[in-house]
Amino acid sequence: MFSSTAAKTQISDLAILGGTPVFTEKIHVGKPNVPDRELLLERVNDILDRQWFTNDGPYVQELEAKLAAFLGVKHCIAMCNGTIALEIAIRATELTGEVIVPSFTFIATAHALQWQGITPVFCDVAPGTHHLDPKRVEELITPRTTGILGVHLWGQACEIEALEEIAQRRNLTLLFDAAHAFACSHNGQMIGSFGRAEVFSFHATKFFNTFEGGAITTNDGDLARKMRFMRNFGFAGYDDVQYVGTNGKMNEISAAMGLTMLDSLGAIIQRNQENYHIYQEQLSGLPGMRFIEHDEDEQRNYQYIVIEIDEGVAGINRDALVKILHAENVIARRYFYPGCHQMEPYRSYFPHAGLLLPNTNKLVTQVMALPTGVSVQPEEVVKICDMIRFVLAHAVEIKQRVYVE
Ligand code: T4K
């Protein structure tokens, strides 16, 4: 995958300045993790033989039972994707009016509320973290607030206990967007059983994928029952509709993928962890760069390798570094730029939201995600790190030659 003539010894070797790219093919953030093919194909054959393709099929039921057991939660309801799962969780818990969410998240978190006529009220992250600041959450509560939607970004739990305390005291519903946090724990307890319900994404780019997919987990039996109906147009039986529902069903091929991913989970985590350790060793402590560590006392999926660049110290900004890496075929991503509050329709609805989001506004200019996953080899990680170190070592000179708007 990498070119032997692409080592960088001088600035003009950079691909952005006409040199040979380090990689001959693009290396993505989010290339899907592929489980054991034979096992998957066996299950696909079963599906074809059985001719039961969707609608709460046997593989979906098996997957739900295995996920619930793995996560230590009573109920798991598999869904067609994480966004619909969020929408169903929000509707089933009867949120209305305003719900407090971080702006520093994927846009689906905010859209799932707005889609249902609920106002997402954007809250800042705590200084030095990528998670909701509980102090700021409290300040944003109004008589119209019905809930808090926390996000466990990068597989790291947000301030669960502090948010629980606020939710309980102020009589609000607490949900978690756990899209990134499958197979991660908090104080030894798997993420999936916190709050009223938690929502996972099993999109292709996620650590654990079902091509497209997601799930809601909860310990509340009545809520689980309601969400199952809502996932299937509100049907409670033949000809019996109980709720406004949608089509959120997971199909059998996706469930087969999920079951096969579960079989391969250990190997995927191992590769991610191996890549993580190389990144950590090579990038931690570089001037102007903050490497986001995963707490190794907790269970982690190591799916997100995230760094922050402080231009004042590094001598180069995040956008220039991303541009340089892209030219070398390292498709680093500016997750999550520019922040939900700066995207439509929120930018127009709440033009002054940014005034209350100083930490988020800074963070979105500094953060980037680097490639990992089973398709990224440790030797490739070393090359990516060499590149970044080279750029930082020559930052001032490079900045003068690489113009970034
Ligand atoms: N909440 C949070 C916090 C989330 O992060 C997400 C999704 C959700 C909720 C909603 O869950 P879902 O409804 O998606 O289940 C991607 C994903 O599409 C999205 O699922 C994910 N978060 C988000 C963080 O990343 P993009 O627009 O950056 O994806 P995209 O299409 O650019 O894919 C990333 C890279 O992955 C591509 O450059 C190429 C590579 N790739 C992608 C796919 C789909 C492949 O190599 N193969 C593939 O099949 O949003």
Percent of the chain clearing pLDDT 90 (strictly above): 94
Q: Is there a single domain that holds both residue 164 and residue 221?
A: yes
Please give the distance, rounded to the nearest whole angstrom, from the Cα atom of residue 306 to the centre of ligand 1: 16
Percent of the chain clearing pLDDT 70 (strictly above): 98
In a domain, 102, yes or no: yes
In a domain, 313, yes or no: yes
Looking at ligand 1, which residue's alpha carbon is closest to its atom 45?
A: 31
Owner of token pair 């560590």: 293
Q: Rounded mean pLDDT of 247-254?
A: 98
What band does 5 get if pLDDT is binned at 50, 70 and 90? low
Q: Is there a single domain that holds both residue 171 and residue 91?
A: yes
Rounded distance, CA 275 to CA 297, Å?
Answer: 18
Find, among 211, 210, 221, 214, the residue nearest to 198 by Cα.
214
**CATH code where residue 131 lies:** 3.40.640.10
Q: Is there a single domain that holds both residue 168 and residue 248?
A: yes
Q: Is there a single domain that holds both residue 226 and residue 114?
A: yes
In a domain, 236, yes or no: yes
In a domain, 347, yes or no: no
Q: What is the pLDDT of residue 6?
A: 65
Measured from the CA of 81, which atom of ligand 1 is nearest? 15
Mutate to test the pocket of ligand 1, among 29, 104, 203 (most ligand atoms within 8 A of CB): 203
Q: What is the pLDDT of residue 4?
A: 57
Q: Is there a single domain that holds both residue 305 and residue 320?
A: yes
pLDDT tens digit sequence for 30-86: 999 999 999 999 999 999 999 999 999 999 999 999 999 999 999 999 999 999 999
Question: Domain boundary residue among 243, 263, 283?
Answer: 263
Q: Is there a single domain that holds both residue 237 and residue 218?
A: yes
- Tell whether the model's pLDDT for residue 112 goes beyond 60: yes
User: Is the distance from the beta carbon of residue 179 to the nearest atom of ligand 1 less than 6 Å?
Assistant: yes
Q: What is the pLDDT of residue 405?
A: 46
Q: Is there a single domain that holds both residue 83 and residue 133?
A: yes
Q: Is there a single domain that holds both residue 290 and residue 168?
A: no
Asked if residue 61 lies in contact with residue 152, where contact means CB atoms within 8 angstroms, the answer is: no
pLDDT tens digit sequence for 266-288: 999 999 999 999 999 999 989 99
In a domain, 344, yes or no: no
In a domain, 136, yes or no: yes
Rounded distance, CA 101 to CA 108, Å?
Answer: 11
What band does 378 get if pLDDT is binned at 50, 70 and 90? very high
Name the burial class of residue 374, with classes exposed (0-12), middle (13-18) and buried (19+) by CB atoms within 10 angstroms of its CB.
middle
Residue 371 preceded by cis peptide, ω within 30: no
Q: Rounded mean pLDDT of 213-228?
A: 98
User: Is the distance from the beta carbon of residue 155 to the nearest atom of ligand 1 less than 6 Å?
Assistant: no
In a domain, 62, yes or no: yes
pLDDT tens digit sequence for 320-333: 999 999 999 999 99
183 φ/ψ sector (left φ>0, alpha ψ -120 to 50, else beta): left
Q: Is there a single domain that holds both residue 282 and residue 384?
A: yes
Q: What is the mean pLDDT of the chain?
A: 96
Is 0.85 topped by the overall pTM?
yes
Q: Rounded mean pLDDT of 81-103?
A: 98
Instruction: Provide the domain count of the chain.
Output: 2
DSSP string across 129-154: SSSB-HHHHHHH--TTEEEEEEE-GG
List phi, psi (to 5°) of 374: -65, -20
User: Is the distance from the beta carbon of residue 106 to the nearest atom of ligand 1 less than 6 Å?
Assistant: yes
Q: What is the pLDDT of residue 3?
A: 67
User: Is the distance from the beta carbon of residue 26 to the nearest atom of ligand 1 less than 6 Å?
Assistant: no
- Tell whether the model's pLDDT for residue 105 goes beyond 50: yes
Q: Is there a single domain that holds both residue 133 and residue 207?
A: yes
Please give the distance, rounded to the nearest whole angstrom, from the Cα atom of residue 252 to the centre of ligand 1: 21
User: Is the distance from the beta carbon of residue 31 to the nearest atom of ligand 1 less than 6 Å?
Assistant: yes
Please give the distance, rounded to the nearest whole angstrom, from the Cα atom of residue 30 to the centre of ligand 1: 7
Q: Is there a single domain that holds both residue 156 and residue 101?
A: yes
Residue count of the chain, please give it. Answer: 405
Instruction: Name the residue range of residue 122's domain.
Output: 37-263
Question: Domain boundary residue among 263, 296, 313?
Answer: 263
Rounded distance, CA 173 to CA 183, Å?
Answer: 24
In a domain, 352, yes or no: no
- Tell whether the model's pLDDT for residue 382 goes beyond 80: yes
Please give the distance, rounded to the nearest whole angstrom, from the Cα atom of residue 81 to the centre of ligand 1: 11
Owner of token pair 């206990």: 161
Q: What is the DSSP letter of 125?
A: B
User: Is the distance from the beta carbon of residue 347 to the nearest atom of ligand 1 less than 6 Å?
Assistant: no
Rounded distance, CA 254 to CA 85, Å?
Answer: 15
**CATH code where residue 302 lies:** 3.90.1150.10
Question: Domain boundary residue among 263, 293, 324?
Answer: 263
Q: Rounded mean pLDDT of 125-132?
A: 94
Q: Is there a single domain that holds both residue 59 and residue 204?
A: yes
User: Is the distance from the beta carbon of residue 201 to the nearest atom of ligand 1 less than 6 Å?
Assistant: yes
Q: What is the pLDDT of residue 158?
A: 98
Residue 336 preceded by cis peptide, ω within 30: yes
